[in-house]
Amino acid sequence: MKKVTIEYRVPYADTDMMGVVYYGNYLTMFERARNELMRDCGYTYSECEKEGWGLPVTHAECNYHASAHYDDILEISAWVQAQKGVRLEIACEIRRKGEDKVLVSGFTRHAFIDLKTFRPCPPPPKFLDMMSRHSEQA
């Protein structure tokens, strides 16, 4: 599957009293990369919502390997790790720009839902088409 990498400069507001990125902010970084992955594949979250379906997070997992700090430029990568039935998993890795060491890795699990009923629903054909078009890219 296609992998998207975005850059993000850590603002002071993302750090704690120890001068490192507050652990909860990494999930927001995962979301930034997830949004850009969808956009890069040609199907934005706003389009999904206009068509009547959503992708709420049902599970999130972060593995912290090393700290990021104020003013670091981070590279946040995201890709589809798995898609089966109504479930979708988006994997993410965060590195300091120019370094190979992974600072944070993890994934978010989502469920396709119908926004009228908030009940699980099959992935829309447009999404499945997007997945098949980008499954060979990495």
Q: What local confidence, expressed as pLDDT, does residue 134 receive?
A: 67
pLDDT tens track for 12-37: 999 999 999 999 999 999 999 999 99
Q: Is the pLDDT of residue 1 over 70?
A: no
pLDDT at 137: 46
pTM of the model: 0.91
Token pair for 94? 């965060």
- 30-87: per-residue pLDDT in tens? 999 999 999 998 888 899 999 999 999 999 999 999 999 999 999 999 999 999 999 9
* CATH number for the domain that contains residue 65: 3.10.129.10
Domains in the chain: how many in total?
1
Per-residue model confidence (pLDDT) at position 138 = 42
Give the torsion through C-alpha atoms of 46, 47, 50, 56, to 10 deg: -60
Write out the residue range of the structural domain in which residue 76 sits. Answer: 3-134
